[in-house]
Amino acid sequence: MRHFKRALALLLCLGVLLCAGCGAAPLPRDTAGSSELQYIFVHGLSGWGRYDKIYRYAPYWGTRNGDLMEHLGEAGYRCHAASVDPIGSAWDRACELYAQLTGSVVDYGVEHSARCGHDRFGTDYSDNPLISDWNAGGKIVLLGHSFGGATVRLFAEILANGSQTEQAATAAEDLSPFFAGGQGDRLHALVTLAAPTNGTTAYDLWDDANFDPDSVEVPKSEILMGKLFSGGSDKDKDGRIEDDYAAYDMHIDNALALNAAIETRPDVYYFAVPCSASGAELTTGNYVPNTIRMEGMFRKTSRLMGAYTGVTAGGVVIDDSWRENDGLVNTISSYAPMGAPAQPYDPENIQPGVWNEMPVFPGDHMSIIGGMTIQKDVRPFYLDLLGMIDALPRT
C-alpha cells in the first residue's frame, strides 16, 4: 500500500483515455457561469488540475464524461480545477492554492521552508491566475477530493486566521497576506469528498507490529493487479523532511493533530461525502471489496483495511468501525473531523458552523470523480450538490 501513488496516477490516466466519451478536451479555462460564487476544486494524491498539460486530455474531474468544470460552467457555476503538489504536505499545497487563486508567487513561509528543507518561493502565477477577479472580493466554495480535503481545510484555516509561526519569523513588510489571515469572510462553504480527514489505516496498518498483512487472505488475481501497477517509492525524495509530504499527514495520529489546528468556523457551511465499496463478511466480520464497485488495484488494500484493528502509536484505538472502506480510505474517516460539531445531512436543517455528513456515495475512492475503469456519470451528483450550496443564505 505504501507504493500505490504512481499506480493511482497511471490507472486514472488509463481509465480516462480508454473512455470513449472523453476524447481530447480543449485547454482548460475559467468557466463563465452566472453564479457569483467561485467553486474551487482541489485534487487528491497524485492528481492534477488546470495547470497540468495532462488535464486537456485526461481531466481529473469528470473522467467518464469529459471535463466536469466545463459541464458545471454551462449550468451556471464558475468552477476551477487547481493544480497542487501531487505528493506534498497539506501546508505546501495550501500555499500553492493561495498563489493560484490570487495570481501571485507561491510563498511557503520563512519558518516552514527553513524547517522543512526547501525553497521559500515557488511558481509565479501572476500572469496566469486560477481565477481572474480574486481582488474583486466575493465568496468561494472549496471542494477537495481525497487529500484535497486536508488541503482545503488547512487553506481555509490560514486564510481566516493566518499563521502565528510565520508572523513571528517574518518581518511585517515581508509577510505573505495569506499568513496574515483576516480573509475568512471569503469562504461560503467547504466540501470534502472521500477524504482521509481522520487519517487512513492504509498507512497505519503497515506500522503496527501486532498486525500481519500476510495473514489476510487475498486472491492471487488481486495480488497480481496490485503488483502490475505498483513500483517505485511512495514519494520521490527531493530533500524535504518526512513531515512535509502527504504520506505523513495521512497517518491517523498526524491527521488528528492537523484537525486540532483547524477550527470549524461559525460562518461557513461544511459538507463531508464518504464513499464505500466494501461490505462485511458473514463468517469473519471483516470487510471485503465489492468487486462490481471497486477497481482491482484497490482490492488488496481494501481487504487489509477491512481486516485491521489495532492501536496507533499515539494511542488511538482502531476498532471494527474502521473496517468499512472505499479501497484507500476508511469510510468512517471521511465524515466530519472527530470532535467537530456534526450532524447527518438534512436538507431542511443546514446551518453554518456544523459539518453536514452526507449519505455514503456508493463507489470506490475514485468513483466520486468519475471512476477509472469502473466509471460513473457524476454530473448529476455535482449539479445537485452545487445547486444546494448555491441556494444557501450568504453569511
Q: Where are the domains of the chain?
A: 5-266+380-390
CA dihedral angle for residue 296, residue 302, residue 307, residue 311, rounded to 10 degrees? 150
| pLDDT for 214 beyond 70 | yes
| pLDDT for 375 beyond 70 | yes
Q: What CA–CA distance (Å, rounded) separates 60 from 58?
A: 6
Domain spanning 5-266+380-390, CATH class: alpha beta
47 CA to centre of own chain: 9
In the chain, % of residues over pLDDT 90 = 82
Q: What integer pLDDT is reported at residue 261 of this predicted model?
A: 97
Alpha helix stretches (DSSP H) within the chain = 5-18, 68-74, 90-102, 110-116, 148-161, 164-169, 177-180, 201-204, 220-228, 246-249, 252-260, 296-307, 379-390
C-alpha cell at 269: 457551511
pLDDT band for 197, please (50, 70, 90 cuts).
very high
Look at the block and give the residue holding cell 499515539: 314
> Which phi and psi (to 5°) does residue 358 adopt?
-75, 160
| pLDDT for 382 beyond 80 | yes
Q: pLDDT digits over 25-49, tens only?
A: 333 444 555 679 999 999 999 999 9
CA angle 174, 126, 267 (to 5 degrees): 70
The pLDDT of 150-165, averaged and rounded, is 98
Q: pLDDT digits over 56-100, tens only?
A: 889 999 988 899 999 999 999 999 999 999 999 999 999 999 999
Angle of helix 5-18 relative to helix 296-307, nearest 10 degrees?
140
Q: Taking all residues of the chain, what is their mean pLDDT, rounded to a whole number?
A: 90
Strands (E) located in the chain: 38-42, 78-81, 105-107, 121-124, 140-145, 187-193, 269-273, 275-276, 278-280, 287-289, 310-311, 317-318, 342-344, 355-357, 361-362
| Beta partners for residue 41, in sequence order | 81, 143
